[in-house]
Amino acid sequence: MNTLGSRISMVRKIRKRSQGWLADRLHVTQPSVSAWESDEADPTLTNLMGISSLLGASTDWLLTGMGTAEGGGFPLREPLPLDPEEQALIDAFQDLNRVRRHALLHFLQAFTHRHNVHVTRFPPDTTAKG
């Protein structure tokens, strides 16, 4: 794994995602992703940051191969297997646009609060005015 393209390809495959899936989320074509992975072209900085975010790999590792792939000092590894219901929820969430994701997270936060369900994994509310 000594090139940017090979690292993108590796982490995409570990995450069990297709080139088409990555292209759709970055608003590029599948041939663009193929060109990055075969080192025929380099992604823009914006696309590199998107790849990092979507696939959970640090930009430092993607660019240099040095250090660990994921933040916090943890090595990149196969994700834990999910049952079909969990995978369906994740897939449905990932298919939502940013506004609908935020609305769903807001609903879940309100629901868990109302029903006294303790959840520690919600992201911070970035829309709070202060």
User: Could you tell me the residue range of the domain that residue 65 belongs to?
Assistant: 4-73
* 68 shares its domain with 85: no
Stated pTM of the model: 0.57
Q: Are residues 12 and 65 in the same domain?
A: yes
pLDDT of residue 121: 62
Crossing angle of helices 4-14 and 30-37, rounded to 10°: 120
Number of structural domains in the chain = 2
| Last residue of one domain, picked from the residues 24, 45, 73 | 73
Residues 68 and 91 in one domain: no
pLDDT mean by block of 10 residues, the chain; 130 residues: 88 89 93 97 94 87 76 49 80 86 89 80 52
